[in-house]
A and B are shown apart, each in its own frame.
Chain A
């Protein structure tokens, strides 16, 4: 499966944020999306998630050589600030999500909680009392259960403690098979550590960074130079 973006454009007034985004993402890989502040990473995610309308271009899923438009059910979008309905318990939220989306959970809800290490005593607590990290886990969990073909992660590990952050990284690695995962981040170390491919967003276009034959230090220098160039250009 491939996720194809073709000539995607988005402007705010005269400011062209996405000029010509044209890229093919391969299934089974985690892509690290890097860009300067204001480069348009969130705009790109919002366009892909149908939160805002793009001005031109299209995006498709290609399966067995057949293209089809991306449906809402194909996308999972995890925000940096986790948002969960605080008047529900974790179990109630999961139950509601599973029913609405028709997700298959043969092992029951408790088995789902094990995936993101939510302790049994926390499963029947109102989520208004959850910490940032636990809310993040819940947000990630429902996106896992929905089994989206494309998983968009906007700064997902920001402000998580080191333990939860490591758990999340492991989780993302274990989930990457069979789907396209795109992770937007400002943390270069995270992108180099977790992602299979690095993609730069600059001048409203996506550009792949070739990781071959480069050690980590060289790659880091090259990425920073490229991003700096975007700003100067």
Chain B
């Protein structure tokens, strides 16, 4: 195998293997069982390499499968009045054109390119050509099964299906060559010269043509699509000698990498300055309280913009939605019947709604970035009684901030329910109110408990806990699946109240026992 290709693949593979091993090591229990010197042991590395290779293969086909089944065929099947063969090729050709600039890896200048070209001083031309060739080969291999399978199902001949798989690689290569030529002449890539400014407008126009024309019963003639694809492949073939001749890869990547690094630094600084800018500069904000109550009051009042304002806006939106629903129920019999049916059967939806409306993760992030990040370096702040005293104050605060939307919905939904059939349902109304308020309190406890038990940030304000991220994703998944439950309001409401009460009690006990040890800056 070519030496440069071997090094490139090994670099890529090592990066992936080490990322997998590092990720496993981050799990609190699992991480403890990992042996010393894991990164030099053959078996775990081989296992991670297999996992990585499987993932690489999955990635080749997964993205393409999603693309074909949703964007090409999924939407294509909606256009019954047009010829399916023409629609299939019409959408594919236009999207292939769009992807030639929006999804062209030639100008990727990230960590991988930095390590290979600048740090390890690999031959930039060989490296780039091999990397790009590898990416194009993956594109063709990924496309081919789907163009053959779905294309023939639409009546596209086999040779055109093969052409459709080759066309994306061809047009991307042609655009890459054009862009390199542009760089050679102007010291800037095509995207920077002007295409960048209009590419999103062009993309939107192409998207409109790809989906809009078939909706009107118009599609590019099959022969034109086939000719366009053949042209793309020919363009790619013609562009290859230019790519091979181009001699400024190193300079170009050096320029692109330094530009990207600068942008990354700017993004990091922008994020930090965003956190700082969330602090109100209004010095008339003061507090007469003492100790941690003083700290908390100033924190909340100086962060009103991100804490209270978001909650109040959501509350207003909820009020408007409830008001509109009430009017609809009062004026329309159909709406009243639908509301009655939905509200008596679909209380599980409220879990997802309260989850979406809750600002708990933003609250804990602000707590860390603008308060705990600094104060956790002082020993007094980590004293068990201090940690618990502040936890209690913060729990009260996060509950208070997130309660208004839940209260509006908790009172609004029963009002809609009662208005829908003109009867006052006291038990159900009370149950809905208590469940929604309970859910809001549950999410407040949940986010603050996760923050105190897993404190995910290090001194450099980087998120360092994969468990914390998993817990947040798990919360989303659980809420999503609960939404699909179909149980009567009474059963769900009672279950919900019971669960929230037990969870809050257990979480508080855990925090009181463990937080003095876990609420630390991560190393």
Interface positions of A (Cβ within 8 A of B): 13-14, 46, 49-52, 72-73, 75-77, 79, 81, 83-89, 92, 95-97, 99-101, 124, 126, 128, 142, 146
- Contact partner of A99 (CB less than 8 A), chosen from B290, B370, B374, B459, is B290
> How far is B377's CA from A97's CA once the two chains are assembled, in angstroms?
13
User: Which residue from A50, A75, A85, A100 sits with its C-beta under 8 Å from B371?
Assistant: A85
Chain A residues in 8 Å Cβ range of B371: 85, 87
Asked if B294 lies at the interface with its beta carbon under 8 angstroms from chain A, I say yes
23 CB contacts below 8 A, A to B, read A46-B523, A49-B379, A50-B382, A72-B379, A79-B377, A83-B377, A84-B374, A85-B371, A86-B370, A87-B302, A87-B371, A88-B295, A88-B298, A89-B283, A95-B294, A96-B291, A99-B291, A100-B386, A101-B380, A124-B283, A126-B283, A128-B276, A128-B279
- Docked pose: A219 CA to B54 CA in angstroms: 60
Identify which of B302, B371, B378 gathers the most chain A CB atoms within 10 Å of its CB. Answer: B378
The distance from the CB of A44 to the nearest CB of chain B, in whole angstroms, is 14
Query: In the assembly, what is the distance between CA of A95 and CA of B292, in Å?
Result: 11
Determine the chain A residues whose CB is within 8 A of the CB of B292 once the complex forms: 100
A107 CB, min distance to chain B CBs, angstroms: 20
Q: Tell me if B294 and A99 are in contact (CB < 8 A).
A: yes
Q: Which residues of B contact A49 (CB under 8 A)?
A: 379
Is B383 part of the binding interface, using a Cβ–Cβ cutoff of 8 Å?
A: yes
A125 to chain B minimum Cβ distance, whole angstroms, is: 8
Q: Using Cβ atoms and an 8 Å threshold, which residues of chain A touch B383?
A: 72
Task: Verify A87–B379 contact, CB threshold 8 A.
Answer: no
Q: Which residues, 265 to 293 on B, are CB-close (under 8 Å) to A?
A: 276, 279, 281, 283, 290-292
Number of A-B contacts (CB under 8 A): 72
Whether A100 and B380, one on each chain, are in contact in the complex, defined by CB atoms closer than 8 angstroms, is yes
Are B378 and A142 in contact, CB atoms less than 8 angstroms apart? yes
Chain A residues whose C-beta falls within 8 Å of the C-beta of B459 in the assembled complex:
81, 83
CB distance from A93 to the nearest CB of B (A): 9
Judge whether A126 and B281 touch: CB under 8 Å. yes
Top 9 A-B residue pairs of the complex, sorted by shortest distance between their CB atoms: A83-B374, A72-B379, A87-B279, A13-B36, A87-B302, A83-B377, A85-B374, A99-B291, A128-B276
Q: Does B375 contact A (CB under 8 A)?
A: yes
Residue numbers in B under 8 Å from A92 (CB-CB): 294, 298
Instruction: Tell me if B380 and A51 are in contact (CB < 8 A).
Output: no
Q: How far is the CA of A87 from the CA of B305 in the complex (A)?
A: 13
A81 cross-chain contacts in B, Cβ below 8 A: 459
12 further A-B contacts with Cβ under 8 Å, apart from A72-B379, A77-B379, are: A46-B523, A72-B383, A75-B379, A83-B375, A83-B459, A88-B298, A89-B283, A96-B294, A96-B295, A100-B291, A100-B292, A126-B279
Does B373 belong to the interface (CB within 8 Å)? Answer: yes
Q: Is B303 an interface residue (CB 8 A)?
A: yes
Closest to A146 in B: B380
- Verify if B299 is at the interface (C-beta below 8 Å from A): yes
Closest beta carbon of chain A to B287's beta carbon, Å: 8
Q: Which residue of B lies closest to A88 (CB)?
A: B298
Q: How far is the CA of A29 from the CA of B203 in the complex (A)?
A: 70
Complex Cα distance A83/B276, Å?
13
* List of B residues within 8 angstroms of A97 by Cβ: 380
CB distance from B161 to the nearest CB of A (A): 55
CA distance A126 to B286 in the complex (A): 12
Query: What residues of A have a CB within 8 angstroms of the CB of B85 in the complex?
Result: none
Chain A residues with CB under 8 Å of B521's CB are 51
Contact A73 B377 (CB under 8 A): no
* Cβ contact within 8 Å between B303 and A87: yes
Q: Is B520 engaged at the interface, CB distance under 8 Å to the other chain?
A: yes
Q: Separation in Å of the B124 CB from the closest CB of chain A? A: 33
Given the contacts A51-B520, A92-B298, A100-B291, A86 and B380 also touching, CB distance less than 8 Å: no
Q: Which residue of A lies closest to B281 (CB)?
A: A126
Q: What CA separation (Å) do A84 and B521 show in the bound complex?
A: 14
Within 8 A of A (CB), among B375-408: 375, 377-380, 382-383, 386
- A85–B296 Cα distance when bound, in Å, is 12
Tell me if B37 is interfacial: C-beta within 8 Å of chain A. yes
Q: List the A side residues contacting B520 at CB < 8 Å.
A: 51
List the A side residues contacting B276 at CB < 8 Å: 86, 128
Expressed in whole angstroms, the minimum distance between the Cβ of A116 and any Cβ of chain B is 17
A142 to B379, CA, bound (A): 12
Q: How far is the CB of B367 from chain A (nearest CB, A)?
A: 11
Q: Which residues of A contact B290 (CB under 8 A)?
A: 99
Known interface pairs A83-B377, A92-B298; A14-B279 also in contact (CB < 8 Å): no
A5 to B: closest C-beta gap in Å: 17
- Whole-angstrom CA separation of A79 from B373 in the bound complex: 13
Please name the residue on chain B nearest to A46 by beta carbon. B523
How far, in angstroms, from A128 to B375 measured CA to CA in the complex?
Answer: 14
Q: Report chain A residues within 8 Å CB of B294.
A: 92, 95-96, 99
B386 closest partner in A (C-beta):
A100
Residues of B within 8 A of A126 (CB): 279, 281, 283
A residues less than 8 Å from B298 (CB atoms): 87-88, 92
Min Cβ gap A3→B in Å is 15
Query: What separation, in Å, do the CA atoms of A193 and B267 have in the docked complex?
Result: 41
Please name all residues of chain A whose beta carbon is closer than 8 Å to the beta carbon of B303 when the two chains form the complex: 87
Alpha-carbon distance between A14 and B40 when the two chains are bound, in angstroms: 14
By the criterion CB–CB under 8 Å, are A72 and B380 in contact? Answer: yes
- Give CA–CA (A14, B38) in the complex, Å: 12
Question: Which of A77, A92, A124, A142 gathers the greatest number of chain B CB atoms within 10 Å?
Answer: A92
Partner of A73, one of B37, B302, B380: B380
B281 touches A72 (CB 8 A): no
B-chain residues with CB within 8 Å of residue A75 when the two chains form the complex = 379
Count chain B CB atoms within 10 A of each CB in A77, A84, A128 and give the residue with the most: A128
Q: Known contacts A86-B279, A87-B298: does B374 contact A50 (CB below 8 Å)?
A: no
| Chain B residues, CB < 8 A from A77 | 377-379
Q: How distant is B422 from chain A, measured CB to nearest CB, in Å?
A: 52
Q: Are A14 and B36 in contact (CB under 8 A)?
A: yes
Contacts of A95 in B (CB 8 A): 294
A51 to B298, CA, bound (A): 27
**Nearest chain-B residue to A75 (Cβ)?**
B379
Cβ–Cβ < 8 Å partners of A85 in chain B: 295, 370-371, 374-375
Q: Across the interface, which residues of B come within 8 angstroms of A88, CB to CB?
A: 295, 298
Q: Which residues of A contact B37 (CB under 8 A)?
A: 13-14
Q: Report the Cα distance A95→B370, complex, angstroms.
A: 18
Instruction: Find chain A residues with CB under 8 A from B36 CB.
Output: 13-14
Q: How far is the CA of A96 from the CA of B299 in the complex (A)?
A: 12
Contact (Cβ within 8 A) A87 B299: yes
How distant is B308 from chain A, measured CB to nearest CB, in Å? 15
